[in-house]
Structure 1
Amino acid sequence: MIKIFIVFASILAIAFYFLRDQTAPASKAMKSDTNKFETLATLPGAIQESSGIEIMSENGNYLTHNDANNKPYLYEINEAGKLIKTHKFQLPNVDWEDLTRDDSGNLYIGDIGNNNSKRDELAIYKVSLQDMENPQAIRFTYEDYKGKPSKKDKSSFDCEAIFWYDGNLYLISKDRNGRNEAKVYQLSDEPGNHTAKKIGTVKMREPVTGASISPDGSTVALLSEGKIHLYRNVENPESFFEGESEEIQLSGAGQTEAVTFKDNNTLILTSEGGSLFRYTL
């Protein structure tokens, strides 16, 4: 009996040795830099479920929005949490989940939430920050979406995180199927009908709720509940996921949903609990 136990234990040890890198995310030890993380303000009452945020570099204010089935409005706020202006659109808000911008003054509104993977077509609305009256639609499907997914894949085509780089949008899926990975897709930033191409995966235990890239393109930040996943010294943002990430615990932040870079060394975040935060890298 003892010999059987020893053999069984040896098999388990060998299995753990070979499988450990497949199940664990490629990340450094988690930090909890509370001295770098601070609450800036409470969000205005109109913003009940902040789900995306982006900086308006022209005046230093921020744009944010509510998520599914709320009004198609962008709320302009400052760092004190004051509501400066409400930008209203004649667009559907099926499930607005994230914002990003390019280097030509265009904003991208991601109507990409897809909790049950039942949406056959998703949209990202391209809006000039100088002319918000004329949004254009980038409609797309995922290249690996083959119609109604199986029960095993019912959460495989949900997404809450996008960032822009060099003429393309990058979408990071919100995996809730227990595979410990998020899919990364590349999509043209031109209005029209497109297919989002799968270009890789990110090892990730937590569902991704937001994404952003630094102005100099050297750092990509992914957000999950109460945690930042940083990819530093990125040589090619198209393959940021091939690098090693650094996980940072945000103590007391709650359900963090949105992130943007204020500059190369400063992140601005929001939570569904109605708070505006700053994290200094």
Structure 2
Amino acid sequence: MKLMIKIFIVFASVLAIAFYFLRDQDNATPASKAMKSETGKFETLAPLPSTIKESSGIETMPEKEHYITHNDANNQPYLYEINENGKLVKTYKFKLPNVDWEDLTRDDNGNLYIGDIGNNNSKRTELAIYKVPFSEMANPQAIRFTYEDYEGKPSKKDKNSFDSEAFFWYADNLYLISKDRNGSHEAKVYQLPDKPGNYTAKKIGSIKMTDRVTSACISPDARMVVLLSEGKIHLYRNVNNPESFFEGEPEEIPLSGAGQTEAVTFKDNNTLILTSEGGNLFRYTL
């Protein structure tokens, strides 16, 4: 009898342990599926070619499944055309300075804009954006500018206030977003004409944010604006007027494992293409 009782106790214990673990697995399944669904929107497409060591801007090529990107400051003034497999298709060489190329954008008329707008120490008295037709990459024209609130020699408080790594085009104007590097937790927004010449960029607004903006883009239908920071997307949906996109509240989307994300563009109204300084090409499906 005692033996039967002992066998029963052991058998019951085994059943209890099995039930405990099976119960945990059942409970974990929905959460695992939800996590997979949530993170499945973000994927690594390919490593970038070895010549692209510090991708800092990216834009879609017209009528192709290709993208164009470039390296950061102190590198050759070259643009690199790549496909979604990360293969280098073509290199475009320019006789321009690459003081600090930071971002790319395009307009609706077949033009690409190269933003030589980096200004880490706020010592550059004249910045430049180069406008060049996709059909004739050999003839860029310069849009040179200063900021309207730059007074020649910034104060200690403002000495890191005039750096930008992000801009986008909309309706004959360029919109630049500053990179807050002075601890003010503010990104300033400036407007600039898209025609070659010399200008003063007009400050039209600001955004309260603690993240440093590294790139920007606008959707083809102009209904969404994206700001990129390190490892995070700041998505403005249902934009009525892109000129005042910053008046809305962004949806913040973390990009786990992406590293130092530096460039973003829209492939279409529902798909973002991104790069990182770590040397990868990513896709995010909205």
TM-score by length of 1: 0.88
Alpha carbons of structure 1 residues 33 and 151: separation in structure 2 relative to 1, 3 Å? farther
Are the equivalent residues in 2 in contact too, given 1:33–1:248 (CA < 8 A)?
Answer: no
Moved runs in structure 1, 4+ residues, more than 3 A? Answer: none
Partner SS state of residue 132, structure 1: coil
1:33 deviation in Å? Answer: 3.7
Aligned to 2:48: 43
Partner SS state of residue 152, structure 1: coil
Inter-partner Cα distance in structure 1 for 2:38 and 2:99: 36
After TM superposition, list the pairs within 5 Å mapping 1:191-230 onto structure 2: 191-230=196-235
State which of 82, 88, 108 in structure 2 corresponds to 1:103.
Answer: 108
Larger Rg belongs to: 2
After TM superposition, list the pairs within 5 Å mapping 1:61-100 onto structure 2: 61-100=66-105
State which of 240, 253, 259 in structure 1 corresponds to 2:258.
Answer: 253
Inter-partner Cα distance in structure 2 for 1:247 and 1:151: 31
Task: State the identity as a percent.
Answer: 80
Inter-partner Cα distance in structure 1 for 2:154 and 2:144: 20
Aligned to 1:28: none
Q: Deviations over 1:64-83 (max 9, x none)?
A: 00010100000000000000
Aligned to 2:159: 154
Q: Deviations over 1:158-210 (max 9, x none)?
A: 00000000000000000011111100000000000011000000111111000
Are the equivalent residues in 1 in contact too, given 2:130–2:142 (CA < 8 A)?
Answer: yes
Q: Relative to total residues, which structure has the larger strand share, 1 or 2?
A: 1
Larger relative contact order (Cα-Cα within 8 Å, sequence gap ≥ 6): 1
Aligned to 1:12: none
1:148 deviation in Å? Answer: 1.4
Q: 1:178 and 2:206 equivalent?
A: no
One-letter amino acid of the counterpart of residue 242, structure 2: P
RMSD of aligned Cα (Å):
0.9
One-letter amino acid of the counterpart of residue 62, structure 1: Y
Partner SS state of residue 153, structure 1: coil
One-letter amino acid of the counterpart of residue 97, structure 1: E
Q: Deviations over 1:24-62 (max 9, x none)?
A: xxxxxxxx9411000000000000000000000221200
1:154 deviation in Å? Answer: 1.2
Inter-partner Cα distance in structure 1 for 2:91 and 2:245: 34
